[in-house]
Amino acid sequence: MDSVKKSTEIHPDERRIILKYADQPDYDISIDCYMRNGGYDVLKKAVAERKPEELCQEVMDSQVRGRGGAGFPAGMKWKFLDRKSGKPIYLICNADESEPGTFKDRQIIHKDPHQLIEGMMLTAFATGTAQAFIYIREEMPLGAEILEAAIEEARANNFLGDNILGSGYSCDLVVHRGAAAYICGEETGLIESLEGKRAYPRIKPPYFPAALGLYMCPTIVNNVETLCNVKHIVEMSGKEYAKIGKPGNTGTRIWCLSGMVKNPGYYELENGQFTYGDLIYKIGGGLRDGRALQAVIPGGSSSKVWRSGERFVGKLRDGTEFDWGIEDVPLDFDGPMAAGSMSGSGGVVVIDDSVDIVEVLANINAFYAHESCGQCTPCREGSLWMKKVTTRMANGGAREEDADLLASIGDQIAGRTVCAHGEACAWPTQSFIAKFRDKFIDKAKQDPEEAKSRSFRMV
């Protein structure tokens, strides 16, 4: 996706904070360029003039929520750290960007790696971390090389390592390459992998990372985009940052737009100030000529799908009533949740009427069956069954009872596994069957030879 958007395609509605320099033609990834544009100034001032607890309070005041998928308040996660055990505290950057439809963290790493490093060093200083890690998936080899080179530049300038900038505070940073497993996006699975073990997610409770994380020590796991925000929060103050966006959805967020739109790409927008309609039709240029909207996956492939034309009616947490179509759903954390789905990792996938919806689910199910770690029987076996059924349907062997069969399998997975991968593989099937049951019934009525002629294959 690196070539999707050129620097000349920065949309006027974007408010670029994290991506401010990322697509500028005269900006490069060297530490000299970063420092010419004010890089590491925030870290210099923080370690010289501020107390760690002040930085923690800034992040609390900012109300920033994690950008990795769950949307949990970052300041609250830091607050949960067990500081009384006497054990060392670890910081892990989750750069295992593996949710289909999501490609924002890769852009940050490839185009502004020192911003991530500065954000991590500020976080480390604020939380008393002595060792930090960037866990990056093996399928991002260039990103790992860029980060390793940037870390060496930062170390040479004393922005990490021993006695950072003469402050008496020390923290080192290491890049760890994962094995390209989706399950390592789950924080405890990531921790197991970082320890050199098979990435089986841990049971929570008791293994909450804030108390029993890496090496059974207190650990913070934050996403790339989240950690980059720390630099800007400290620079402008948490209260000023909280004025961007809206309460509960502060700051900007990078959205990944893909699928059947004219201008796919990554867009940094002020949280809650736009709708999915704005993203798809105004910013994304709308659908391809002659095509109509069929569905939207609002937050990466694990989020529940929306069907064109459906409406969402209810009340928000503040009591405000809403009656939305897809185009009206706010582009933030709370809007998609109120509409029965989630913003997840920010990956918005647009599906037009040229696409076979059964084949879409077959592709999704093939992915999740492949990525199940195998620890939990419902997920390990159920994801494989769903893959087999939808692959058979896509290849001309559909039966009318398959819709009910798929829904039953999904219902028996969700809520019965150690980690959220069970929900990740069940929710697409549950929602596709609920929203597009007619399409699955019609598939059974289709001429098998016609289905075979489409030469379906997983992508």
pLDDT tens profile 232-282: 999 999 999 999 999 999 999 999 999 999 999 999 999 999 999 999 999
Rounded to whole angstroms, how far apart are CA atoms 3 and 448? 39
Angle between helical axes of 141-156 and 104-111 (0-180°, round to 10): 40
Numbers of helices and strands, H then E, in the chain: 18, 13
Looking at the chain, the domain(s) classified CATH 3.40.50.11540 span: 7-13+26-243
Mean pLDDT, residues 103-110 taken together: 96
pLDDT range class, residue 6, cuts 50, 70, 90:
very low
Class of domain 7-13+26-243 as given by CATH: alpha beta
What single-letter DSSP state applies at residue 278? I
Output the pLDDT for position 297.
Answer: 98
Output the pLDDT for position 29.
Answer: 97
Q: Does residue 300 contact residue 69 with C-beta atoms inside 8 Å?
A: yes
C-alpha torsion angle, residues 200, 208, 99, 60 (rounded to 10)? -170
Q: Does residue 230 contact residue 236 with C-beta atoms inside 8 Å?
A: no
Angle at 177 between CA 259 and CA 24, to 5 degrees: 55
Output the pLDDT for position 447.
Answer: 78
pLDDT range class, residue 4, cuts 50, 70, 90:
very low
Output the pLDDT for position 70.
Answer: 85
Residues of the chain above pLDDT 70, percent: 96
Angle between helical axes of 113-127 and 52-62 (0-180°, round to 10): 120
The structural architecture, per CATH, of the domain 357-453 is: Up-down Bundle (1.20)
The pLDDT tens digits of the residues spanning 43-58 come to 999 999 999 999 999 9
Q: Does residue 122 contact residue 230 with C-beta atoms inside 8 Å?
A: yes
Looking at the chain, the domain(s) classified CATH 1.20.1440.230 span: 357-453
- Alpha helices (H) along 272-371: 276-277, 334-338, 357-371
What single-letter DSSP state applies at residue 166? G
Mean pLDDT, residues 46-72 taken together: 96
**What number of residues does the chain have?**
459
Looking at the chain, the domain(s) classified CATH 3.10.20.600 span: 249-352
The pLDDT tens digits of the residues spanning 362-381 come to 999 999 999 999 999 999 99
The structural architecture, per CATH, of the domain 249-352 is: Roll (3.10)
The pLDDT tens digits of the residues spanning 187-203 come to 999 999 999 999 999 99
